[in-house]
Structures are given as structure tokens and as C-alpha cells.
């Protein structure tokens, strides 16, 4: 299966629906497979959440009507609409929109109610594993059940993520440990980690995406602009082609050339 790329719009539209629409169009032109938003509202916050956080969520939240509008925009642009459901209420809304895939954030890794619901209702689930250990990942996969196609995303929940904490070797570890498609959700600055993840076998790359790194909000500094997003898409395709198969055998061109090449010099 070809490496797929999620352009994570997240909160980077800063509550501007027209900016969100433009992000969809630009992500599609950059070659991303998915444009992902976040499904939450201030009403979903716990009662003890700070007022400044509550006000920010109120500013950037997308209504149900916004979700429908953005889904239609994505369909027209030729890119798949995807969103992160923070709870069952929003997962139900996404399912009613006929979304066949859903993203679960790292903070939902231990939300057994949400895991059970999306495992039963969606065909494909992408789940980030930031802040989690192997046992928690195993329990989450068990709770999702056998129905959906599950992709585990290695993730480190630091924003921005220092290079020394990226732990990209966790990608092949998770793949071997669970035998499931494994990807990478990136919070580093730049494109290197995404390309390295592809070289380590990641089948899905998620990168935060912005139209303007100077906008208000915490994610813009670690987000890719349209040039970087296009670079990630292109580089991942090249890496996938270069990886080839797990064997050592001459290519057809080598077979044609080797007799000549091996006879160029005397052996002693």
C-alpha cells in the first residue's frame, strides 16, 4: 500500500471557515491524501479547564454545519475529509456524515467508551499513541476490536518536538510488536522526521499544516506550509520507491552489465 499523507489543519484555521476552505484546496494541490480537522467544542471541555483555554476552544471550534461545508469542499477538491473525534458525540456526528474513517488523538488512547464506539462504527481508525506505553496501546487495539482497519501512529506529545525526543525507531518496533499498519504523527519542526519515518516503514504520515506560520496559535511553528507539505508528499513517494523489497538480488540492468564489469581488470 502506498504511503498516505494527512495534512492536519487542526486549529490552524483559527476559527475562520474561509481559511479552512482554502487550506483544503491548498492541501489537495500539494498532493495530500487527507485534510484533517478536529471535532470538539467548548461544551465538551471538563468543568475545571482554565478560562483562557475555554475561550480559545470557543474561537476555533467548528460547528456541525461547518463540518458539512468542509466535507463538501474536500470532496470538490478531490481530497478526503477526516476529523479527530474527541468523544462519542462527535464520532456519531462524523458517522452520520458518512465518514468511513476517523482519527483518534493521543489523549483518547485510554478512552475505552470512544474506542469501542469507533471500533464498531467505522471502517478505518487512525490512532495516535503519544503519552502511551506498550500496554496502553495493546489495550486500545483490543478495545477497537476486529472490525476496523487500524493504523497505529507513533507520536510524541511535545509541541514542538525536539529532534532528540522523536524516537523514530518506535515505528518499526510498533509494527513488529502489533503486526498492524504503522505510521507517524509528527510534531517536529521541518520535514526531515516525516521523510525518515517513511524510510523506517511508516505507511501513514500526519503533519500539521498551515497557510501562514505567523498566525496566532501554538501549532503554526511546527506546521508545514504548502511547499513543505508538497515536499513531504513527493519525498515519501520517492522513499517508498527506493525502499524496494526485503531481499538482495541483482537488477536486470546489473545482470546485463556484470559480466563486462567483472572482466575489466585482471584478478591478480
The residue count for the chain: 268
Q: Are 31 and 230 in contact (CB under 8 A)?
A: yes
Q: Tell me what pLDDT residue 70 has.
A: 98
Cis? peptide before 232, omega within 30° of 0: no
Top-confidence residue, 100 or 268: 100
Q: How far is CA 71 from CA 45, 98, 254, in A?
A: 24, 10, 49
The yes/no answer on whether domain 4-262 falls in CATH 3.40.50.12780 is no
The three grid cell numbers given for residue 3, joined into one nine-digit string:
504511503
Reply yes or no on whether the pLDDT at 267 is more than 90: no
Reply yes or no on whether the pLDDT at 38 is more than 80: yes
Reported as a single tens digit per residue, the pLDDT across 74-121 is 999 999 999 999 999 999 999 999 999 999 999 999 999 999 999 999
Mean pLDDT in residue range 200-214: 97
Q: Are 216 and 14 in contact (CB under 8 A)?
A: yes
Mean pLDDT in residue range 161-190: 98
Mean pLDDT in residue range 134-143: 98
Mean pLDDT in residue range 22-50: 96
* pLDDT, mean over the chain: 97
Reply yes or no on whether the pLDDT at 268 is more than 90: no
Mean pLDDT in residue range 190-214: 97
Mean pLDDT in residue range 46-57: 94
The whole model's pTM is what? 0.95
Q: Are 245 and 260 in contact (CB under 8 A)?
A: no
Q: Tell me what pLDDT residue 1 has.
A: 59
137 CB neighbour count, 10 Å cutoff: 19
Q: Which of 95, 97, 139, 138 is nearest to 118 (CA)?
A: 95
Mean pLDDT in residue range 43-48: 94
Mean pLDDT in residue range 249-264: 94
Mean pLDDT in residue range 193-217: 97
The three grid cell numbers given for residue 87, joined into one nine-digit string:
468523544
Amino acid at each position: 500500500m502506498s504511503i498516505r499523507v494527512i495534512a492536519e489543519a487542526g486549529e490552524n484555521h483559527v476559527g475562520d471557515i474561509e481559511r479552512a476552505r482554502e487550506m483544503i484546496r491548498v492541501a489537495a494541490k500539494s498532493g495530500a491524501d487527507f485534510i484533517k480537522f478536529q471535532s470538539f467544542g467548548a461544551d465538551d471541555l471538563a468543568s475545571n479547564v482554565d478560562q483562557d483555554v475555554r475561550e480559545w476552544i470557543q474561537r476555533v471550534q467548528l460547528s456541525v454545519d461547518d463540518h458539512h461545508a468542509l466535507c463538501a469542499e474536500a470532496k470538490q477538491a478531490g481530497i478526503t475529509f477526516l476529523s479527530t473525534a474527541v468523544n462519542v458525540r462527535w464520532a456519531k456526528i462524523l458517522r452520520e456524515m458518512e465518514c468511513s474513517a476517523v482519527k483518534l488523538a493521543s489523549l483518547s488512547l485510554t478512552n475505552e467508551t470512544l474506542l469501542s464506539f469507533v471500533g464498531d462504527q467505522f471502517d478505518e481508525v487512525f490512532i495516535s499513541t503519544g503519552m502511551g506505553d506498550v500496554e496502553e496501546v495493546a489495550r486500545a487495539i483490543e478495545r477497537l476490536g476486529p472490525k476496523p482497519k487500524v493504523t497505529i501512529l507513533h507520536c510524541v506529545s511535545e509541541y514542538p518536538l525536539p529532534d532528540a525526543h522523536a524516537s523514530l525507531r518506535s515505528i518499526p518496533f510498533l509494527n513488529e510488536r502489533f503486526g498492524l499498519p504503522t505510521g507517524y504523527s509528527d510534531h517536529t519542526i521541518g520535514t526531515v522526521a516525516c521523510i525518515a519515518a517513511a524510510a523506517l516503514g511508516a505507511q501513514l504520515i500526519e503533519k500539521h499544516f498551515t497557510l501562514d506560520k505567523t498566525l496566532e496559535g501554538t501549532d503554526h511553528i511546527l506546521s508545514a506550509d504548502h511547499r513543505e507539505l508538497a515536499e513531504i508528499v513527493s519525498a515519501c513517494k520517492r522513499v517508498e520507491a527506493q525502499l524496494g523489497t526485503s531481499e538482495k538480488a541483482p537488477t536486470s540492468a546489473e545482470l546485463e552489465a556484470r559480466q563486462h564489469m567483472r572482466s575489466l581488470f585482471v584478478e591478480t
